[in-house]
Amino acid sequence: MKIPKRKLFLLIIFAYVAFSLYAAYNVFFSTKVISRVHRVVKKETGALSARDWNPWEDEQVDYNSALTKKRDAFKQHLGRIDKNKPKRYRVQIWGKAAIGIYLWEHILEGPLNPTDKIAQWREGELKSGKIDFSFYTGPAVVQGHVPLDMNSLVLVLNGREQQKVSYSTRWLEHVQALVQSHRVSHVAVVLLGNEHCNNDFIAPYLKRNGGFVDLLFLVYDSPSVNDKDVFQWPLGVATYRQFPMIRPNTQLITSNRPYLCNFLGTVYKNSSRETLMQVLKQSGLDKECITTAREMWLAQETAESLRRYQTALAQSELTLCPVGINTECYRIYEACSYGSVPVVEDVLTPGTCAAGSSSPLRLLKAAGAPFIFISDWKELPAILERERAMSQEQRVDRRRRLLEWYASFRQQMKERFTEVIEETFFKDG
């Protein structure tokens, strides 16, 4: 049968278009896809070879080779651009002690989500120096269930008492297993130390003793501090009792505070705290100070007691800081947060903490803390008399200087923490 010319022409056009589309398909798909199709064709037909089925394979190989060269050239171009950018490192922090919140929110000034302070799982990210930090904390952060997507780790632990030491040891053993399996290369520990400075449990884990911990940031005036692999770290505020991050404002600096001083806390029998309360009462100055004494220490803070405590700090020129088990206490840092000058009992407590001309509180003293240091609470009446004589302008200026110092101190701790980790973890990077 004779095909009309018009139909024959359309058939030729259709065949040409189909042929062009087929060729384009083979050119733009990768060799791996073609190879996979080859295997399917061989398996199903058994009659056609790959070359019989794909007569344009040579052209495709040439095209893919040219494409690969272009991609490699582009990668090299990106590499040249990246070399001009500062190199960044990644470090993960696991906060398994409340001082981790002080490190993250008050020192590093990092965000935390969710904002609910009693959430089971909280996390955040920030940049400091050349390091990108990520942070995980909360009761749900347990061994083996924290996402580990980097090989540098900071572990925040509590070593104050035996129960806490046992829990911390389990975490150290977990991290040791990660190091042994080469999942983690660098480890630092931030440790809330024992108040008598007895921290022997951590020693075997230090790298210089054959362990795996490169760096230790240790709270209290421990004799182990050498500023090489063991650094002193501030106690900070009582985040475990929900003490918040306070942002200074004009009202905080310039307000007329109605009280000379405050002390809200536990008064132990035969302690210097008893002496403090007696001195205030005998001098009649207790009426010019906010004082609330209790006979037993309370681990938890109610919303009402926290509000009363914060109000006392905000309404007092001075905050009295008698020693407890250790000279360093949360009250010192909490007073600084509100611009209330700490009056610190500058005496060593029993234990194995470092002695010397700069102890106790050598970290704060080295940073030039603008506190009032006394060795006996009998000095207090004279201090309060001088306080009475100060003008409002002088008090406001002193308040401003204290708040500025505390902000500067936290910034120094942030820079020190970041730089020490950079130099130790990434010195070959």
- Least reliable range by pLDDT among 17-21, 166-170, 175-179: 17-21
- Kindly list the structural domains of the chain, giving each domain's residue range(s) and its CATH number in brackets, ordered by start: 5-83 (no CATH), 89-233 (3.40.50), 244-412 (3.40.50.2000)
**What local confidence, expressed as pLDDT, does residue 286 receive?**
85
What's the Rg (C-alpha) of the chain?
A: 33
Report percent pLDDT > 90 for the chain: 70
- Least reliable range by pLDDT among 8-17, 128-137, 229-238: 8-17
- Predicted confidence band at 80 (pLDDT cuts at 50, 70, 90)? low
- Cβ–Cβ under 8 Å, residues 429 and 421: no
Through-space distance between the first and last CA atoms of the chain, rounded to whole angstroms: 80
pTM of the model: 0.80
**What local confidence, expressed as pLDDT, does residue 37 receive?**
34
Sheet holding 230-233, edge to edge: 122-128, 131-137, 89-95, 152-158, 186-192, 215-219, 230-233
- Predicted confidence band at 373 (pLDDT cuts at 50, 70, 90)? very high
Residue pLDDT, tens place only, 317-356? 999 999 999 999 999 999 999 999 999 999 999 999 999 8
Residue 39: which H helix or E strand, with range? helix 31-45
- Evaluate if residue 12 carries a pLDDT over 70: no
**What local confidence, expressed as pLDDT, does residue 11 receive?**
61
